[in-house]
A and B are shown apart, each in its own frame.
Chain A
Amino acid sequence: MAASIGAAPCRTLFRRSCGKRLSAAWGLLGGARGLVAQGETHLGFQTVPEAEKEQRVYQVFESVAKKYDIMNDSMSFGIHRLWKDILLHQMNPYPGTQLLDVAGGTGDIAFRFINYVRSQREYRLRQKLKSHQNLSWQEISKSYQEEALKPLGGSQVVICDINKEMVKVGKQKAQLLGYTEGLSWVVGNAEELPFDDDKFDIYTIAFGIRNVTHIDQALQEAYRVLQPGGRFLCLEFSQVNNPLISRLYDLYSFQVIPVLGEIIAGDWKSYQYLVESIRQFPAQEEFKAMIEDAGFLKVEYRNLTAGIVAIHSGFKL
């Protein structure tokens, strides 16, 4: 990882100048939702200069980092665990997969990935032993030894987050839960990833991409670091189509969640920002178009919980 960071500067310079051109033109054409002036973007329902958004979002997550998991559970009644499980199930990683989890903060996706790979590997080993009925004792013990040496089958996950506090909380959680191998933690910006081209098999970003200032740049970075054939998966809050559920959801979001934020985490404003940023994020079809613009093919999305959350998937082919 250190070597790739060293090689990154020249590439990041190019990327930044390219990004400025694109973002300026983007600002010219009126921005994502509603009208923003050139060089400005949304921070929830406020309008702020682009340069400021990154800093403000950093502060938001710095302040919520310690209570992030508890708040997730209380806001979604624990359903966020199901969403993340469904994401892993859709991913169906094969042994030896290199996963990059961006905005992975407290490591939920990464830990689930490791669990999945481990259980799959055990299952496959059992199947293999079942099919070879005439193995000698030496062969059986050798296969168990191999399994002990490489319990993950070569799969690895790199967790990248821009916020040092979130990474710290994530590392503590990993130690607590006993995840020692197959994990790497990197502090980096999704718009300028400190990795080489064509490195990863799967890129996931769960509930992180709406906090990125330039979503298109993040998508292009995702395209860059993925191998040919690699998969982009994004789990994110999205627009609800059903009008009844939409009304209930809006009521819940704006009346209940900031209050919970104040009670549990002592931070009303951060959770106000959270629910506002969900409303500002593009809808399913629009986000799918953005992913296709970055160059991904076979882009599909799947609504979970009536559209409250959507999983977008694309391939670099």
Chain B
Amino acid sequence: MATAVAALGGLRRASWRLLRCPAVVRCHLYSSQRTFRASAVVSKISDEQKHEPPSSSSQQHFETYPTGDQPHQEPRASRPSYTGHGGEESEDYESEEQLQLRILTAALEFVPDHSWTADAVAEGAKSLGLSVAAAGMFNSDGSELVLHFVSQCNSRLSELLQQDQKLVQLGQAEKKKTDQFLRDAVEARLKMLIPYIESWPQALSILLLPHNIPSSLNLLTSMVDDMWHYAGDQSTDINWYTRRAVLAGIYNTTELVMVQDSSPDFEETWHFLENRIADAMNMGHRAKQVQATGEALVQGLMGAAVTIKNLTGLNQRR
């Protein structure tokens, strides 16, 4: 009985998919209205968003309804990945992930007014022409907004570093020394926070919530990895880890200084950053010095021990 019911259920679902063909006629009426709105909206945002194909927007939305089946057949909608470049689909229609990214990007405008909360996301959805209820797709504590912003900043930083590297390769710019390079990279990355610096402490606290720590740690490590990669780090030993740990520490402390910095143009922060990087560089030298001194000391002690043994006659074999 149970299997018959299940089979009937499956058959019914299959028949639903067939029966939606007449329903598609009705839906074209809806989607034509939406294409107009959607294309107007996409043209507004397309210059901000780098990851979407903006031109065929009307095509996308027209096909969204009839081909709306495909996203459902995947296992329950996976959250957009924050470590990569968002959910880029190979198909030509806008997936749920892309729409979510668009809503979050639009919501960033409202962060100065509403801080990093679901309210900003609701306002963002409203600005895109969607209902405010679309903010229900996200977490109600605003974490996805913060994570999206951080991931966006990291992507921008990557692009900047890549462009600089190209310029160096083409010979149009000088290759910077490591400490100068790192200083510029961290400074560029922190400058992206300036528009949101008022509410950044709240964002930091959201990033430190237990359920967000895996994602935020992921983002931090990938950013630090990027910076060292473009700085030319090719180490394969323990240095790989120490360098990234040190840079992560420098970045985090500078970020905290920046949040409470009230000097004009954040001069104090850049000063602090300079000092920390100098410290880090010196630390490398000092570590070598300590090791050399230690070795010399140990050799001296060994020599003294052998001398004493000789003097007392313990070394002779009788």
Which residues of A pack against B, CB within 8 Å? 18, 21-22, 25-26, 29-35, 90-94, 96-97, 124, 197, 201-202, 216, 220, 226-231, 282, 286, 289-290, 292-293, 295, 297-300, 313, 315, 317
Contacts and interface: CB of A to CB of B under 8 A. Distances in A.
A229 B20 contact: no
A228 B12 contact: no
Given A92-B118, A298-B77, A30 B12 contact: yes
B27 A228 contact: no
Interface in B1-15: 1, 5, 8-9, 11-13, 15
A25 B12 CA distance: 10
Interface stretch (B64-72, B211-219, B246-254, B266-274): B64-72
Interface in B165-190: none
Given A33-B5, A295-B68, A231 B131 contact: yes
B140 interface: yes
B12 A26 contact: yes
Contact of A317 (B1, B26, B134): B134
A304 B187 CA distance: 49
7 contacts: A18-B23, A34-B1, A229-B133, A293-B20, A295-B27, A295-B65, A300-B77
Interface stretch (B122-130, B288-296, B310-318): B122-130
A93 B99 CA distance: 20
A293 B134 contact: no
B135 interface: yes
Given A34-B5, A227-B133, A299-B72, 5 more contacts: A201-B132, A202-B131, A230-B131, A230-B133, A315-B134
Contacts of B19: 22, 25
B34 A228 contact: yes
A293 B8 contact: no
A175 to B, nearest CB: 29
A113 to B, nearest CB: 12
A29 B135 CA distance: 38
A202 B133 contact: yes
Contacts of B64: 317
A88 B56 CA distance: 38
A317 B99 contact: yes
B30 interface: yes
A289 B137 contact: no
Q: Which of B71, B125, B130 neighbours the largest number of chain A CB atoms within 10 Å of its CB?
A: B130
Q: Is the interface of B mostly helix, strand, loop or mixed?
A: helix
A204 to B, nearest CB: 11
A313 B136 contact: yes
Contacts of A25: 15, 19
A22 B34 CA distance: 26
Contacts, number: 108
A298 B96 contact: yes
Q: Which of B11, B122, B125 neighbours the largest number of chain A CB atoms within 10 Å of its CB?
A: B122
Contacts of A91: 133, 136
B134 A231 contact: yes
Contacts of B118: 92, 94
A25 B130 CA distance: 34
A14 to B, nearest CB: 8
B131 A229 contact: yes
Interface string B128-161: 1111111111001000000000000000000000
Contact of B134 (A29, A90, A229, A299): A229
Contacts of B68: 295, 297
A112 to B, nearest CB: 16
A229 B72 contact: no
Contact of A227 (B17, B20, B99, B130): B130
B72 A292 contact: yes
A231 B136 contact: yes
A227 B136 CA distance: 14
A43 B8 CA distance: 19
A96 B15 contact: no
Contacts of A33: 5
